Amino acid sequence: MPHLNAEEMSLFASTAQHTTRCTKPTIQPSTGHILVHVFATQQKLQLTREPVIMNNMQTSTLKPNKNLSNNNSTNSQQANFHHDFQWNVSYNINEKIKILQINLQKAKVPTAMLATTAKLLNPDIILVQEPYVLEGKIEGLPSFWKSWLSKNNKAGIIALPSCNNPVFLFSSNEIVAIKIQANSSPFTIISSYSSPYSAIEHNLDETHQLIHSLQGEDFLLGEDLNAHSQTWGYSNTDTRGEKVSDFISSINGHLLNTKDAPPTFIQRDSKGWPDLSIASSSVLAVNSDWQVLDNIESYSDHKIISITINKDQHILKYNRFKTIFGGHKKFSTILKSKAHSILKRISDTVHPEDIDDLTVFIQQELNFACRKAYKLKKTPTTPTISWWNSNLETKKKEITALKRRAERSNGLVKTHFEIKAKMKLSIFKKEVLQAKRNSFKKNCSQ
């Protein structure tokens, strides 16, 4: 059995600094030295197959030869991994994709309140039009949320941690698109905005070209085109509405909006239905639940739209370890105790096909040492809102109660409650901004 020299000992001990990554060995037969390269390219990790049953929304670390299942589940799904190696991944299945859609009117408060809304409704994706943007980014979002904007910053898409590995697809002046995997197939999500003072043809042409490039893939289009049509709730149809209707027909799209839906836009005495949601096919439309959340305060003149799509998301994520709090000595000790068996395995590797098995073996030992020495990092699924307080929560409930009273009343009583609710909402928005500033100052002074 070969003995470890100082260089080899140092090699294995140094891997403690890279425990959040995968490993790949490269063998140099001429010298017998081992170079263990640590890198973050997930595609390099080769997974072979063995059934592991996981439940809906059940997140777990995959272990060999264990079926993680629940007999009461009727929709258990199957993931396949190597049978004799504990891979450093977590796997879960979302049986539905939940999407919110809203126009934020380029205002600070509605944009900032997205975090509290997400905590309440738990969406996977938020389609936004006219968000509040600062320095090319949607302002006020939690740091672990991903977001993309159109070139004019008027259309955006926000992906929360529960979304299945979103990939940026396309951005033009008025539209932005991402792609995710749903039911093991590509699924494109598009956000679009067209000002009532701009020509709508340019927006529709760009969207048409993007959809044509998808070559039949499923998509969902959420947009605010400021177009009137009796098809989606207005009492009249204008020129923009006719063009949008022709556009929907040209792409064989299916409008999710319903005629009897409450207005998606309310301002003083005016109301409208400018926010549209379009599915790529009748099958997707039938498997989607679309509704205006009239009882949820959006802090914007536009209402929140909820779209629930019955498509599975199979989410595979690589675990990360907390290395900043120590544990390196324990990791080094564990790995040194395995060093002789690792070197023996390396010295016994003769044929090229044995290198794959050797790679798995070294990865297994590194992963085992990491799990013994470090804790796993957890990405929060819902944001912690440091500036939110009980006073704001109370005022929020008061505004909601006043609006409900206004809905149940008539005449002067209804007007009284509406005015009172608007006054309290105006004060509430100022207090939200003040709370955010105070929280920021407090964090900076610590």
Q: Is residue 249 part of a domain?
A: yes
Same domain, 145 and 116: yes
Highest-confidence segment of 253-267, 343-357, 424-438: 253-267
Q: Is the pLDDT of residue 65 over 60?
A: no
Same domain, 298 and 176: yes
Q: What is the pLDDT of residues 358-414, one digit of tens each?
A: 888 888 888 888 888 888 877 666 667 778 888 888 888 888 888 888 888 888 888
Same domain, 268 and 196: yes
Same domain, 228 and 364: no
Q: Is residue 210 part of a domain?
A: yes
Give the span between the Cα atoms of 150 and 191, in whole angstroms.
Answer: 9
User: Greater confidence, 22 or 377?
Assistant: 377
Per the structure, the count of domains in the chain is 3
Same domain, 338 and 306: no
Q: Is the pLDDT of residue 187 over 80?
A: yes
Q: How confident is the model at residue 26 (pLDDT cuts 50, 70, 90)?
A: very low
Range of the domain at 338: 321-378
Q: Of the residues 378, 399, 423, which one is the last residue of a structural domain?
A: 378
Average of per-residue pLDDT values in the chain: 79
Give the span between the Cα atoms of 261 and 250, in whole angstroms.
Answer: 25
Same domain, 192 and 140: yes
Kind and range of the H or E run holding 129: strand 125-129
Same domain, 363 and 338: yes
What pLDDT is recorded for position 132? 93
Q: Which residue has the tokens 């675990």?
A: 319
What's 278's domain CATH number? 3.60.10.10
Q: Is residue 27 part of a domain?
A: no
pTM over 0.85: no
Compute the average pLDDT of residues 6-12: 48
Q: Is the pLDDT of residue 71 over 60?
A: no
Query: What are the C-alpha distances in Å from 272 to residues 79, 84, 268, 375, 386?
Result: 46, 60, 12, 52, 35
Same domain, 306 and 170: yes
Same domain, 270 and 329: no
Two tokens at 37?
A: 């390269």
Same domain, 169 and 273: yes
β 125-129/97-103 pair status: parallel
Q: How confident is the model at residue 183 (pLDDT cuts 50, 70, 90)?
A: confident
SS3 per residue for 345-363: HHHCCCCCCHHHHHHHHHH
What pLDDT is recorded for position 304? 95
Q: Is the pLDDT of residue 58 over 70?
A: no
